[in-house]
Amino acid sequence: MGQFGIGQPVRRKEDVRLLTGKGVYTDDVNIDGQVFGVFVRSPQANAVINAIDIETALAAEGVVAIYTGEDLAADGVGTLETEVEMADLAGNPMFRPKRTLLATGKVRFLGEPVAIVLAETQEQARAAAELVMVDYDQLPSIASTAGAVDPSSPPVWPEHGSNVSVHWENRPASEIDVHMERAKTRVTVDIVNNRLVPNPMEPRAAVAHFDAATGMMTLYAPTQGGRRIQGGLAKGILKIPADKMRVISQDTGGGFGIRGKLYPELGVVCWAARRSGRPVKWRGDRNETFVSDYHGRDQVNHAELGLDENGRVVALKVHTILNVGAYMGENGPRLPISGGGRIIPGVYDIENFYFSVKPVFTNTVPTDTYRGAGRPEANFLMERLMDAAADATGLARDEIRRRNVIRQDQMPYMTQMGLLIDSGDFIGNMDMAMEHSDWKGFEARRKESEKNGRLRGIGLGNFVEAAGGRPTEEMRVRISADGKATVFAGTYSHGQGHETVYAQLIEEYLGVPFDDVSLVQGDTATSPMGSAGTFGSRSSWMGGLGIRRSSDAIVAKGKKIAAKLLQGDEEAVSFENGVFSAGAGSVTIQEVAKAAQEPKNLPEGMEPGLDESFNVKRDAELFNFPNGCHVCEVEIDPDLGIAQIVGYTAVDDCGVVLNPFIVHGQVYGGIAQGIGQALTENTVYDAEGQLMTGSFMDYGMPKAQHFSHIEALFNEVRCKTNDLGVKGAGEAGACGAPSAFVSAVMNALSPYGIKHIDMPLTPDRIWQAIADAKSAKAA
Amino acid sequence: MQDFTFHMPAAVADAASLLGSCEDPKLIAGGMTLLPTLKQRLAEPTDLIDLGAIADLKGVKREGDQIVVGAMTCHADVAASELVLSTIPGLAMLAGQIGDPAVRHRGTIGGSSANADPAADYPAGLVGLCATVVTNQREIPADDFFTGLFDTALEPGEIITAMRFPIPKWSHYMKLRHPASGYAVVGVMVVDTGAGVRVAVTGAGPSVFRVAAMEEALSKDFSVKSIEAIKVDADGLNADMHASAAYRAHVITVLAKRAVAARG
């Protein structure tokens, strides 16, 4: 409807506010009487804490209090534990250690908080934190993902005896071995899926205020929706009723999954506010982002694919080692399986699938959900296998995929992981991406590059993901007496543009003008009780559906009121473009909203107002399945090993596109993060568990110069399992980019016979691979 | 950041006397290295002496056959200077590749040189171009100025006031940027002084160094071919997670060849 309805490239309402410095972030919040909290963090990767001497620090200027883990324990403060429970095939459960908010007895990774210092100023707190003397006995440590499965590796949790928390398998391997043995062609890949530091633009922060008179605890913090954190803090940590815990996030500078978590620091800051009787402000810095925000990815994969004489896959075996870090994050251990990797084996129709996952402990920052959360890893693995299969069978890279993708006539298709894929045009995605990238004309471009001493390569990557996250989301829509609409949401826009898209939906469904719609979010006091938040590419679907149903309820109620106003039958009232009509008479929804405030205008027994909520609930199988195909073209300077992207075509099926301008933004951002993983980003620990990439001086973020123009296209296939027809859009780019890029680089390097280089494909690594290939040839 | 006393003297002599009288003073130019160091509490000077108000230290001028760049001239001003562009384009090229726009508008030639970061660009420029470092006490040839990792010939109390560059016949700078920091993984300055060729390398070793074999070959025959086979020994070169010593050694030759090839 109109220029602001569904499908229109409406400019973002929130941008003027955010881009002119009017956003209100947690660090902008100050409360009278606040003290500043600074955490004392472990410089050790693995050590026994013999003693913590706070005497000197307590005497320092401005210091109000210093608390350690013992103070928390003495006050009955709760601990953090993962939500995940898994078992091996014999039923032996996963080892699930609890995490104390402040390290107690032992530290298990560099950066782990050990104490908090409260002082009148930030500088005083920092200075005093340096005076807290922790006596450590250093222990041997382990940082390596692959190394942690070695029984002789130093145990992070000696009480468990092994760094392998569980060996999860989907079935006995022998069931698949019989199929693998009949394969005509077998290929294997070994992949290190590199650990990433998510690095939202805004570092973490928290301001907590406890009102002793009412018992109300209020926490300001960047989140992805406060409802989940509220529950965890109230019940699990502070042991107070949930309605005495309020979480407020006004604006948040990026989430990517990791801002949705209940971090120990949040619990400490709240508790310290209650204990000290002063509001407490913690202003985390970028160093703390690197050593205490949850990290992403970090898997080691070994996989084997068996194919018959027609290039059809007959068996797949995947062995994944997942580095969970020193403690288990909320979702971390299940990321390769049900958490995000649930989509494995990707867009392909593979019946015989064996999957083994070993989540391992190491003395590193815990890992958890980061844009894609298991799906980029799963898709990357499948696409590397397909490239290897193409190489081994002599089939073209697109042909091997065409022979194995799930076809539209097979849908709905039940995957090996128990998901029902409702829709998707996987062949069409490839056709569209190859056509728009001029795949056919590549050879001519390659020759041109060759003349200039450059290697040129082209690659493609298919992907599918499963979007949705948590099973409920409640939305509320109200039209006030002034005719303006307000959406009350527990979904939380931390960059996504909900203010804009939700207003488009309201204009579409209720005819209230775009500019008359506002969004109230980011406060557990106003968000509906059944809300969960924004993550897992779920807000357009679950939030959108909640708005749809709430709007339907408003129209239904409005018809009853309009019937009375128009003195007609309710059945005779129709609603279109914000106008209720019956016969020759009509009233606008604004008039109805105004009338709805007066009981005299209402049918007998009706509550005043136009104010409706709907709690969207889904069954576990009703995820939706964003998918696509990305094609990347690169040019490599072989003397320096630099790979430069020279062309990028992204075909995405996000179902019905509510706002192409905003979805393009999601696609670009996801691709940037995917290319970051593949080209520049890497988190490196040394053998002693010291973080070697602890700042932007060493940790390479993707920059504009690494990209070419991105041609972002939609192959829109309406989702069949929700009324809006939408699929998620937030994580697609990060799923598609790594495989397309790596495929392109390997294609460029094929004259040297190079099959694989682990991400990130830095100049040093590419040059070394070329040098090794040359010397192998010479030998 | 610890509290400190902030000074903004109007003359070099005043800065020098503050340096002598304060307890634990530090000079600050653009602050591109010092400010992060202070924020992380890795340095805690009692006094900061800001050279930004000393007008004499800023700007580019020609004196005979030399270009004189004031110590407090920022990289962006060197990169955009008509005078530098028309006389020593290689120097403008170098300055224009330092860091990012914010760094180029704050960082200065004097500050960068005094800091002597092994991956900074200017050391290759100064040494390659036979520059002279002018201080409030003396003149130091660039060849003698950079003495090691973050180490220079500057004595306590000495303040750089300007850099003097003889105008060469030709110069060119090539750089492989660090993927994270933007510093030089390797930076190579090739200069035809008129009396011979100089090849100065930054980023690859603990301090800037010259490649004698290339200088000799290019002085005889200024061509890509003459240095093609010259391999730099990887022994003693920097190695880190972004670039091995062998890679850096290889890149020196590649960049030197490309610099030479750029001379039309």
Sorted by sequence, the CB contacts under 8 Å of residue A734 that are 6+ apart come out as A371, A372, A376, A670, A671, A673, A674, A677
CB contact at 8 A, A349 and A426: no
Interface of A with B (CB under 8 A): 123, 126-127, 130, 287, 639-641, 680, 682, 684, 692-693, 696-701, 762-764, 767-768, 771
Interface-testing mutation among A283, A640, A686, with chain B (most B C-beta atoms within 10 A) = A640
Q: What's the CA gap between A182 and A315, in Å, rounded?
A: 9
Q: What is the least distance, in Å, from the CA of B45 to any CA of chain A?
A: 15
Percentage of chain B lying above the pLDDT 70 cut? 100
Q: What's the CA gap between A678 and A741, in Å, rounded?
A: 7
A-chain residues near B179 (CB < 8 A): 680, 700, 762-763
Q: Phi and psi (nearest 5°) for A574?
A: -115, 160
Q: How many CB pairs under 8 A join A and B?
A: 48
Q: What's the CA gap between B249 and B236, in Å, rounded?
A: 10
- List the single residue in B40, B176, B244 with the smallest CB-CB distance to A640: B176
C-alpha pair distances (Å), A600 with each of A429, A596, A612, B67: 57, 9, 20, 89
What is A282-340 written as a DSSP string?
Answer: EE--HHHHHHHSPBEEEEEEEEEEEE-TTS-EEEEEEEEEEEEESS--SSGGGIIIIIS
Are residues A684 and B41, on separate chains, in Cβ contact within 8 Å?
no
Q: Which fold has domain B5-50?
A: 3.30.43
Minimum Cα–Cα distance from A288: chain B residue: B40
B-chain residues near A775 (CB < 8 A): none
- List the single residue in B2, B40, B254 with the smallest CB-CB distance to A639: B254
C-alpha pair distances (Å), A485 with each of A190, A249, A520, A594, A609: 54, 22, 11, 12, 12
Tokens in use for B97? 């590749």
Q: Is the pLDDT of residue B56 over 70?
A: yes
Q: What's the CA gap between B67 and B83, in Å, rounded?
A: 8
Q: What radius of gyration, in Å, describes the C-alpha atoms of chain B?
A: 18
CB contact at 8 A, B261 and B168: no
Q: Is residue A71 within a helix (H) or strand (E), and if so which, with residue range? A: helix A69-74
Are residues A767 and B247, on separate chains, in Cβ contact within 8 Å?
yes
- CB count within 10 Å of CB A346 equals 30
Please report the beta strands in A450-493, taking only residues with DSSP state E, as ranges in sequence order. 455-464, 472-479, 485-489
Which residues of chain A fall short of a pLDDT of 50? 621
Q: Phi and psi (nearest 5°) for B90?
A: -60, -35
Q: What's the CA gap between A112 and A101, in Å, rounded?
A: 9
Tokens 């009278």 correspond to A32
Instruction: Give the SS3 label for residue A560.
Output: helix
- List the single residue in B41, B180, B254 with the smallest CB-CB distance to A640: B254
pLDDT bin (cut points 50, 70, 90) of residue B242 is confident
Mean pLDDT of B37-50: 93
- List the single residue in A126, A764, A768 with the smallest CB-CB distance to B242: A764
Q: What's the CA gap between A53 and A521, in Å, rounded?
A: 43
For the stretch A466-507, pLDDT in tens is: 988 788 999 999 999 999 999 999 999 999 999 999 999 999
Q: What is the least distance, in Å, from the CA of B13 to any CA of chain A?
A: 33
Minimum Cα–Cα distance from A684: chain B residue: B241
B-chain residues near A762 (CB < 8 A): 179, 242
Q: What is the least distance, in Å, from the CA of A593 to any CA of chain B?
A: 53
A-chain residues near B181 (CB < 8 A): 696-698
Q: Is the pLDDT of residue B213 over 90?
A: yes
Interface of B with A (CB under 8 A): 1-3, 40-41, 176, 179-181, 241-244, 246-247, 250-251, 254
Burial classification of residue A771, based on how many CB atoms lie within 10 Å of its CB (0-12 exposed, 13-18 middle, 19 or more buried)? middle
Minimum Cα–Cα distance from B242: chain A residue: A764
Tokens in use for A430? 């490839």
Are residues A130 and B254, on separate chains, in Cβ contact within 8 Å?
no
C-alpha pair distances (Å), A620 with each of A338, A469, A537, A617, A692: 11, 9, 15, 10, 41
Sorted by sequence, the CB contacts under 8 Å of residue A243 that are 6+ apart come out as none
Are residues B180 and A762, on separate chains, in Cβ contact within 8 Å?
no
Are residues B251 and A692, on separate chains, in Cβ contact within 8 Å?
no
Q: Is residue B69 within a helix (H) or strand (E), and if so which, with residue range? A: strand B66-70
Torsion angle of the four alpha carbons A579, A585, A590, A592, in this order, in degrees rounded to the nearest 10: -110
Q: What's the CA gap between A160 and A328, in Å, rounded?
A: 14
CB contact at 8 A, B171 and B189: yes
- Strand partners for A219: A208, A247
Q: What is the least distance, in Å, from the CA of A629 to any CA of chain B?
A: 28
Are residues A696 and B180, on separate chains, in Cβ contact within 8 Å?
yes
Burial classification of residue B148, based on how many CB atoms lie within 10 Å of its CB (0-12 exposed, 13-18 middle, 19 or more buried)? exposed
Minimum Cα–Cα distance from B179: chain A residue: A700
Edge-to-edge strand ranges of the sheet holding B132-135: B60-63, B66-70, B160-166, B132-135, B139-141
Q: What's the CA gap between A719 and A656, in Å, rounded?
A: 7
Are residues A123 and B254, on separate chains, in Cβ contact within 8 Å?
no
Tokens in use for A241? 């009723």
ipTM: 0.94
pLDDT of residue A2: 73
C-alpha pair distances (Å), B152 with each of B75, B126, B160: 20, 13, 11
Tokens 């290897």 correspond to A388
A-chain residues near B247 (CB < 8 A): 641, 763-764, 767-768
Q: What's the CA gap between A163 and A149, in Å, rounded?
A: 6
Tokens 């503050």 correspond to B18
Is the C-alpha dihedral spanning B222, B133, B255, B249 positive or negative? Answer: positive
Tokens 């972002």 correspond to A712
- List the single residue in A287, A640, A700 with the smallest CB-CB distance to B180: A700
C-alpha pair distances (Å), A613 with each of A26, A490, A552, B56: 29, 12, 10, 70
- Strand partners for B135: B160
Q: What is the least distance, in Å, from the CA of A700 to any CA of chain B?
A: 4
Are residues B179 and A287, on separate chains, in Cβ contact within 8 Å?
no
Instruction: Give the SS3 label for residue B93.
Output: helix
Q: What's the CA gap between A154 and A147, in Å, rounded?
A: 10
C-alpha pair distances (Å), B207 with each of A82, A200, B204, B238, B247: 49, 35, 8, 10, 17
- List the single residue in B40, B242, B250 with the smallest CB-CB distance to A762: B242
Q: What is the largest CA-CA distance in chain B?
A: 58
pLDDT of residue A1: 52
Interface-testing mutation among B39, B174, B176, B242, with chain A (most A C-beta atoms within 10 A) = B242
Minimum Cα–Cα distance from A686: chain B residue: B241
- List the single residue in A126, A127, A680 with the smallest CB-CB distance to B179: A680
Q: What is the least distance, in Å, from the CA of A346 to any CA of chain B?
A: 32
∠ CA B56-B59-B61, rounded to 5° = 105
Are residues A696 and B181, on separate chains, in Cβ contact within 8 Å?
yes
Interface-testing mutation among B100, B247, B252, with chain A (most A C-beta atoms within 10 A) = B247
- CB count within 10 Å of CB A115 equals 23
Tokens in use for A124? 């005083």
Q: Which CATH class is domain B58-261?
A: alpha beta
A-chain residues near B1 (CB < 8 A): 123
Please report the beta strands in A77-234, taking only residues with DSSP state E, as ranges in sequence order. 106-107, 113-119, 133-138, 168-169, 185-196, 205-211, 216-220
Are residues A126 and B41, on separate chains, in Cβ contact within 8 Å?
yes
A660 preceded by cis ω (within 30°)? Answer: no
Q: Is residue A558 within a helix (H) or strand (E), and if so which, with residue range? A: helix A544-565
Of the candidates A520, A79, A498, A134, which has an alpha carbon nearest to the alpha carbon of residue A262?
A79
Q: Is the pLDDT of residue B43 over 60?
A: yes
pLDDT of residue A714: 97
A-chain residues near B35 (CB < 8 A): none
Q: Is residue A766 within a helix (H) or strand (E), and if so which, with residue range? A: helix A763-778
Burial classification of residue A18, based on how many CB atoms lie within 10 Å of its CB (0-12 exposed, 13-18 middle, 19 or more buried)? middle
Interface-testing mutation among A683, A684, A764, with chain B (most B C-beta atoms within 10 A) = A764
Domain ranges of chain B: 5-50, 58-261
Strands A627-637 and A642-653: antiparallel
Minimum Cα–Cα distance from B182: chain A residue: A697
- Strand partners for B232: none
Are residues A641 and B247, on separate chains, in Cβ contact within 8 Å?
yes
A760 preceded by cis ω (within 30°)? Answer: yes
Minimum Cα–Cα distance from A642: chain B residue: B176
Tokens 């958490």 correspond to A339
A158 preceded by cis ω (within 30°)? Answer: no
Minimum Cα–Cα distance from A701: chain B residue: B180
Are residues A762 and B179, on separate chains, in Cβ contact within 8 Å?
yes
Q: Is the pLDDT of residue B26 over 80?
A: yes
Are residues A692 and B241, on separate chains, in Cβ contact within 8 Å?
yes
Q: What's the CA gap between A542 and A721, in Å, rounded?
A: 12
Q: What's the CA gap between A671 and A735, in Å, rounded?
A: 8
Tokens in use for A179? 């199929």
